[in-house]
């Protein structure tokens, strides 16, 4: 519009100048003036037609509005895959314009949660607690080498404990072979590699008992090397992970970060399938082998051979979300030859409701753990793992795309002589 007006003004000025000159130089002034005025009229008419056609085209084109973003919850196409994308981005940063040209290029992401708990367990304390503040640090070091770290700050009775949860340097040769070194979450099942210390990532407040942080049933952390990648398999979508490292330390709830206590390397292997025709569907299994030397030393200094086998079946959708896993832990007392097997499984079902911008997601989970009385390691006082039978029900409400409110009820039953415990738990978790 402004351009057309400028053109019209230029033409009129030119015409006016010509008229003025004609009045001073031409003998037949009236004829010249009439001709120029007619020409000006035609030019103005042409300008008006151009402006009208431009206005019509603008009116016919669809208007583009930039509405403020609402707190809409994506599906797994949406929120669930957003969690996966965040960790794929954090652990394996890809080179964008900055990453390709500048190494290193540090990226930081954070997670946090604030919790409330109240149970009828005798001697328990109810109230608020800080939960964790977690930082993810990711930086490409070259086009094929990248670093990822995870640091947690956890509230203790008198201070905050700082722990390096993961510290990994990774070489990406191609989609079929990637090699990592450092401290990482043991790829012994699905949950431990999909959901990390940022509790916003998972639907529920708590992790399953069989793979909870600080637990002893399965090793949550592993220190060593890990090879992973895809296996050419067409639409079946096979993948693998194979690790060699220190395994469990003398305190079996931790990894051997300071070396292997018995000079016997642990190893883990996992095989899974993600069929391309079933988005979010995954199934697979893993095996883990280690030799455990508990500390403090026990009478006769026995060691324990450990075999863990696990299986998982997952449909990581929002409508519905289904996760189920089973693990068998086989221990052998190498001093007495006594053998025992312990089992645990859980099944979790959740569904993203279609109303109110899909903010509500109710869920339920059932857990079961059985430890034989004669179990050679888990039955010891310092390494005790208890039986568990109990359901969990709750609901998650996504306040925004990056913050959630969770309400959870748990009913647990441990040993035959232990009382049943009921608890209500509340959490707000977020990422930033």
Q: Is the model's pTM score more than 0.85?
A: no
C-beta separation of 408 from 118 below 8 A:
no
d(CA 83, CA 404): 13
Average the pLDDT over each of 18-22, 105-109, 277-281, 334-338 and give the range with the smallest value: 18-22
Q: Which fold has domain 79-431?
A: Porin (2.40.160)
Model confidence at 22: pLDDT above 90 = no
Model confidence at 173: pLDDT above 80 = yes
C-beta separation of 402 from 430 below 8 A:
yes
Indicate the average pLDDT of the chain: 83
**CB count in 10 Å sphere of residue 356:** 10
Helix (H) or strand (E) holding 276: none
Model confidence at 106: pLDDT above 90 = yes
Nearest one of 148, 170, 280, 185 to 228, comparing CA atoms:
170
Sequence-separated (6 or more) residues with CB below 8 Å from residue 52: none
pLDDT for residue 92: 55
pLDDT band with cut points at 50, 70 and 90 for residue 69: very low
d(CA 141, CA 146): 5
**Three-state secondary-structure class, residue 47:** helix
Model confidence at 68: pLDDT above 80 = no
d(CA 116, CA 131): 9
Residue 71 has which token pair?
């707190």
Sequence-separated (6 or more) residues with CB below 8 Å from residue 392: 204, 206, 364, 365, 366, 367, 408, 409, 410, 411
Nearest one of 128, 3, 114 to 54, comparing CA atoms:
3
d(CA 80, CA 342): 32
pLDDT for residue 193: 95
d(CA 264, CA 231): 29
**Three-state secondary-structure class, residue 207:** coil
Q: For residue 275, which phi and psi values (nearest 5 degrees)?
A: -55, 135
Gyration radius from the chain CA atoms: 33
Burial class (CB in 10 A: 0-12, 13-18, 19+), 56: exposed
Share of the chain above pLDDT 70, in %: 76
Instruction: Give the CA-trace dihedral at 228, 232, 238, 241, to 10 degrees.
Output: -10
Model confidence at 25: pLDDT above 60 = no
d(CA 371, CA 328): 10
d(CA 426, CA 205): 8
């Amino acid at each position: 519009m402004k351009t057309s007006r400028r053109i019209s003004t230029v033409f009129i000025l030119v015409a006016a100048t010509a008229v003025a000159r004609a009045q001073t130089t031409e003998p037949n002034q009236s004829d010249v003036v009439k001709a120029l005025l007619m020409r000006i009229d035609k030019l103005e008419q042409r300008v008006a037609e151009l402006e009208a056609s431009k206005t019509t085209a603008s009116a016919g084109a669809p208007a583009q509005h930039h509405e403020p973003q609402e707190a809409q919850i994506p599906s797994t196409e949406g929120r669930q895959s957003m969690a996966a994308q965040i960790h794929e981005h954090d652990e394996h940063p890809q080179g964008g314009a900055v990453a390709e040209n500048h190494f290193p290029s540090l990226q930081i992401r954070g997670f946090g949660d604030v919790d409330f708990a109240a149970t009828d367990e005798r001697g328990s304390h109810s109230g608020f607690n800080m939960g964790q503040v977690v930082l993810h640090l990711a930086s490409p070091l070259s086009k094929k080498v990248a670093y990822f770290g995870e640091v947690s700050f956890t509230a203790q009775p008198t201070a905050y404990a700082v722990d390096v949860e993961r510290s990994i340097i990774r070489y990406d040769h191609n989609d079929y072979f990637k090699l990592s070194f450092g401290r990482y979450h043991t790829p012994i099942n699905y949950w431990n590699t999909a959901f990390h210390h940022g509790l916003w990532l998972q639907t529920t407040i708590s992790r399953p008992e069989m793979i909870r942080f600080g637990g002893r049933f399965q090793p949550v952390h592993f220190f060593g090397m890990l090879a992973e990648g895809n296996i050419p398999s067409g639409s079946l979508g096979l993948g693998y992970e194979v690790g060699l490292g220190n395994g469990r330390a003398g305190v079996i709830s931790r990894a051997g970060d300071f070396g292997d206590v018995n000079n016997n390397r642990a190893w883990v292997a996992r095989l899974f399938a993600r069929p391309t025709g079933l988005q979010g569907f995954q199934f697979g299994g893993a095996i883990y082998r280690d030799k455990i030397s508990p500390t403090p030393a026990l009478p006769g200094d026995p060691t324990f051979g450990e075999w863990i086998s696990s299986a998982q079946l997952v449909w990581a959708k929002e409508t519905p979300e289904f996760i189920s896993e089973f693990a068998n832990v086989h221990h052998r007392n190498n001093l007495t030859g006594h053998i025992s097997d312990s089992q645990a499984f859980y099944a979790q079902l959740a569904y993203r409701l279609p109303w109110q911008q899909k903010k509500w997601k109710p869920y339920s989970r059932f857990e079961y753990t059985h430890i034989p009385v004669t179990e050679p390691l888990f039955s010891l006082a310092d390494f005790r793992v208890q039986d568990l039978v109990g359901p969990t029900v709750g609901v998650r409400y996504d306040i925004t795309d990056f913050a959630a409110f969770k309400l959870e009820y748990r009913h647990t039953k441990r040993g035959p002589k232990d009382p049943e415990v009921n608890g209500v738990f509340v959490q707000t978790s977020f990422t930033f």
